[in-house]
């Protein structure tokens, strides 16, 4: 699974003009299930996101996790993170998981964060969404569940 993580002061998501998710300080997590991903990949990525130390400590160093600071997560499905831009001008998305599996793994990822004690809001899988955020830092991190053992 892939994730683009942004440390935010606040974030929200709308679908068809109605707000479906909102958080205060925490993480906006855009997440994509890739072909071949499984439950273990979703759980592993969720654990890494929850422990990612990108919040400031008393010495103003990025040394605290979203768990440490009592933050929340807004999790948005984002199949375009699977974009293959190696050739041509139009990205391909054939490496993304099929929609049914993508939805299942997206929901598993969000639940895994909840199981780790984080308040989690979500968008709507497959919907056209409007995401608003105030990036704090800015801090933006790319993660892939296959990056380390």
State whether residue 38 is helix, strand or coil. Answer: coil
pLDDT given at position 148: 61
pTM summary value? 0.95
Query: What are the tens digits of pLDDT across the range 67-119?
Result: 999 999 999 999 999 999 999 999 999 999 999 999 999 999 999 999 999 99
| The listed CATH number (3.50.80.10, 3.40.50.300, 3.90.1570.10, 2.40.30.10) that belongs to domain 2-144 | 3.50.80.10
Residues taking part in catalysis: 78-80
Work out whether strand 62-64 and strand 129-144 pair parallel, antiparallel, or are unpaired. Answer: unpaired
Query: Is the predicted pLDDT of residue 16 greater than 90, yes or no?
Result: yes
What are the structural domain ranges in the chain?
2-144
């Amino acid at each position: 699974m892939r994730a683009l993580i942004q440390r935010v002061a606040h974030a929200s998501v709308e679908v068809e003009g109605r707000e479906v998710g909102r958080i205060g300080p925490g993480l906006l997590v855009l997440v994509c299930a890739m072909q071949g991903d499984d439950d273990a990949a979703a759980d592993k990525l969720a654990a890494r996101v929850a422990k990612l130390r990108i919040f400031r400590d008393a010495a103003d160093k990025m040394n605290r996790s979203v768990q440490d600071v009592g933050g929340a997560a807004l999790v948005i499905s984002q199949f375009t993170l699977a974009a293959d831009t190696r050739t041509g001008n139009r990205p391909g998305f054939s490496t993304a998981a099929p929609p049914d599996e993508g939805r299942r793994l997206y929901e598993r990822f969000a639940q895994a964060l909840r199981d780790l004690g984080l308040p989690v809001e979500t968008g709507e899988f497959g919907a056209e969404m409007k995401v608003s955020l105030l990036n704090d830092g800015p801090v933006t991190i790319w993660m892939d569940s296959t990056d380390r053992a």
